[in-house]
Amino acid sequence: MDNTIIYLAYLVASCLFILGIKGLTKPRTAVRGNQLSALGMLIAVVVTLLDHSIISYQWIIAGIIVGGAIGAFMAKKIQVTAMPQMVALLNGFGGGASLFIAIANFLDPASATHTVALISIGATVLIGSVTLSGSFIAFAKLQELISGNPIRVPGNKVINLVLLVAAIALSGAIVVDPTQIDLIYALAAVSLLLGIFLVIPIGGADMPVVIALLNSYSGIAAATTGFITGNTVLIVAGALVGASGIILTQIMCKAMNRSLFNVLFGVMGEGGVVADADEVYAGKVKSTSPEEVAMLLETAERVVIVPGYGLAMAQAQHAVRDLANELQRRGTDVKYAIHPVAGRMPGHMNVLLAEAEVPYEQLIEMDEINPQFEQTDVAIVIGANDVTNPLAREDKTSPIYGMPILNVDKARTVIVIKRSLSPGFAGIPNPLFANDNTLMLFGDGKKEIVELTKDLKEAD
Amino acid sequence: MELLLLLTLFVVAVFLGVELITKVPPTLHTPLMSGSNAISGISLVGAILSAGSDAGYWVNILGFIAVVLATINVVGGYMVTNRMLSMFKRK
């Protein structure tokens, strides 16, 4: 097919991607936006199949069948609680695709001809490899194949720096002497190692930042792939995804009051005078029962539910929705307070609650809900910890000082549903649990809520 | 000159992306990530060209692997995004 037509079709596809993302700015138009974006993809793929440089189709068809089957299977089977793992894997596959295309182009004497192509190949192999191995480590942590806690490797920063310098040197060497085929494999190996060492020290609670960042890398890798052969749709689409990931990374860092550097190198806030847990909790923690909480809720007019990662762990989203339904039936006002980094990826809690058919109007963002806690009768915290810790607001010596939190302690009564008093990711005790107006409901989130709802129903 | 045009395209697209994405509400951040994942599967276009080229066996094999990975991204990404978004829609 004529190149002009191909590039015009790519232009149409690029516009559809932009309209698709624009659709995602409102829940009402989001489904349509996603379909427009998919249509753009279809157009780009179909015109590419008509490119006259393609001489055989067997590998293409086989690849599309295998990839399509795996992709469809994953999309159908994945549980909503496991969405962070799914996105981590997809990021990795995106980076991997760019990596293999770059190596293929390097081996193809027709495309690795000029300096720009060679620089782009080096950049793509580097970014693609880091995205691939980094995403798989993130996946393994989220799936708990390896520990979700930060894994400290001695000299990690030095190793990262050495690997990065080596990768850049190898990228340069490829441009100088493209006949040395082995150099590209060395570059890929070094970059894959770099990806592993970049993600391994990062703990589970920082995963929203890592996933957003790797999302951005997968886009940038696609864009640099576009520079190899001057493919416009790759450049536009890759740039859009790269920008998206960077914006989400920024939002997540801001919500944790940490710089990207601190997250990447596993640094928790400075100062870091960690209070002794016994001192904070001793004799002050009041434990309660589902029955007692049900009695409290009977007379409550305004209830705010604060979900955290523990909600996803306990798969308690449907139980929570049932409780909220029962409360609403009794005329109680129910809202959900969503902290931007609650869960393991941006928007994790929203998707989880949407699955349980909680209307999104009831999900209130932090800045909007915080002034309302003072008028709240009962705040129910389920599996959230650090994002409710008042030390972030009050104690300048605390490692989490300055992190924006949900002011649940301002509510008249706070119910915390949690297995134990164990600390959250920040590793510090939470004085909220010892407050006069706090009652601890120890146990599995789902079980306790089911119990609680039952007691509330029987109260009539 | 061609490089400058491509660079221009890239930078303008980044700015456009930033403008658009800052308007996406936090509620839709997860679908945004999976949806943009699907878009980054656009590398399928490059993968197809390698898998079907006349540059020899190895280029075709590498292209094939890239086609598989990119297609997982495209199909898996769009389908899972659609699944999530329809949960937001129903009432």
Q: Are A256 and A230 in contact (CB under 8 A)?
A: no
The residue with greater pLDDT, A342 or A139, is A139
Bridge partners for A365 per DSSP = A338
Asked if the model's pLDDT at residue A94 lies above 90, the reply is yes
Task: Assess whether A386 carries a catalytic annotation.
Answer: yes
Bridge partners for A39 per DSSP = none
Q: What is the mean pLDDT of residues A309-328?
A: 91
* Residue-level pLDDT at A41: 97
Mean pLDDT, chain A, whole residue set: 90
Asked if the model's pLDDT at residue A285 lies above 50, the reply is yes
- Give the pLDDT confidence of A187-231 residue by residue, as tens digits: 999 999 999 999 988 877 788 889 999 999 999 999 999 999 899
* Residue-level pLDDT at A399: 77
Scored b (16 or more CB within 10 A) or e, A183-216 reads bbeebbebbbbbbbbbbbbbbbbbbbbbbbbbbb
Question: Percentage of chain A with pLDDT > 90?
Answer: 62
* Spatial CA neighbour of A381 closest among A437, A332, A329, A425: A437
Q: Which chain A residue's Cα is nearest to B75?
A: A71
The pLDDT-based confidence of A269 (bands split at 50, 70, 90) is very low
Which residue carries 């409550």 as its tokens? A300
* Residue-level pLDDT at A144: 85
Taking the C-alpha atoms of residue A108 and residue A121, their distance in angstroms, rounded to an integer, is: 12
Would strands A413-418 and A333-338 be described as parallel, antiparallel, or unpaired?
A: unpaired
Question: Percentage of chain A with pLDDT > 70?
Answer: 97
Tokens coding A402: 């300055």
* Residue-level pLDDT at A1: 60
**Inter-chain CB proximity B88 and A247 less than 8 Å:** no
Q: What is the mean pLDDT of residues A323-328?
A: 93
Asked if the model's pLDDT at residue A274 lies above 70, the reply is no
Nearest to A359 among B6, B68, B91 (CB): B91
Asked if the model's pLDDT at residue A284 lies above 90, the reply is no
Q: Are A57 and A43 in contact (CB under 8 A)?
A: no
* Neighboring chain B residues of A25 at a CB cutoff of 8 Å: 20, 23-25, 28
Asked if the model's pLDDT at residue A98 lies above 70, the reply is yes
Tokens coding A16: 């559809």
- Tell me which residues of chain A, numbers 293 to 352, contact chain B at a CB-CB cutoff of 8 Å: 338, 340, 345-348, 350-351
The pLDDT-based confidence of A271 (bands split at 50, 70, 90) is very low
* Residue-level pLDDT at A108: 87
Do the interacting molecules here have an ipTM over 0.90? yes
Whole-number Cα distances in Å, A215 to A5, A329, A332, A342, A390: 31, 42, 40, 19, 32
Q: Name the DSSP class of A347.
A: T
Q: Return all residues near A119 (Cβ < 8 A) that are at least 6 apart.
A: A171, A175, A227
A410 burial class (0-12, 13-18, 19+ CB within 10 angstroms)? middle
**Inter-chain CB proximity B17 and A238 less than 8 Å:** no
Asked if the model's pLDDT at residue A23 lies above 50, the reply is yes
Q: What is the mean pLDDT of residues B59-68?
A: 96
Whole-number Cα distances in Å, A74 to A71, A88, B78: 5, 13, 11
The residue with greater pLDDT, A349 or A279, is A349
User: Which of the residues A89, A90, A236, A360 would you substitute to probe the B interface, choosing the one with the greatest number of B C-beta atoms within 10 Å?
Assistant: A90
Q: What is the mean pLDDT of residues A293-315?
A: 90
The residue with greater pLDDT, A337 or A310, is A337
Torsion sign over Cα B47, B51, B56, B61: positive
Tokens coding A45: 């793929």
Q: What is the mean pLDDT of residues B48-59?
A: 92
* Residue-level pLDDT at B1: 58
Q: Is some CB atom of chain B closer than 8 A to the CB atom of A50?
A: no
Instruction: Give the DSSP H/E element, type plus range, for residue A91.
Output: helix A83-107
The pLDDT-based confidence of A275 (bands split at 50, 70, 90) is low
Taking the C-alpha atoms of residue A361 and residue A363, their distance in angstroms, rounded to an integer, is: 6
Q: What is the mean pLDDT of residues A9-19?
A: 96
Question: Percentage of chain B with pLDDT > 70?
Answer: 96
Choosing from A206, A386, A409, A444, the catalytic residue is A386
* Residue-level pLDDT at A270: 42
Asked if the model's pLDDT at residue A92 lies above 90, the reply is yes
Q: Which domains does chain A have, with CATH numbers?
A: 78-264 (no CATH), 277-458 (3.40.50.1220)
- Give the pLDDT confidence of A174-199 residue by residue, as tens digits: 999 888 889 999 999 999 999 999 99
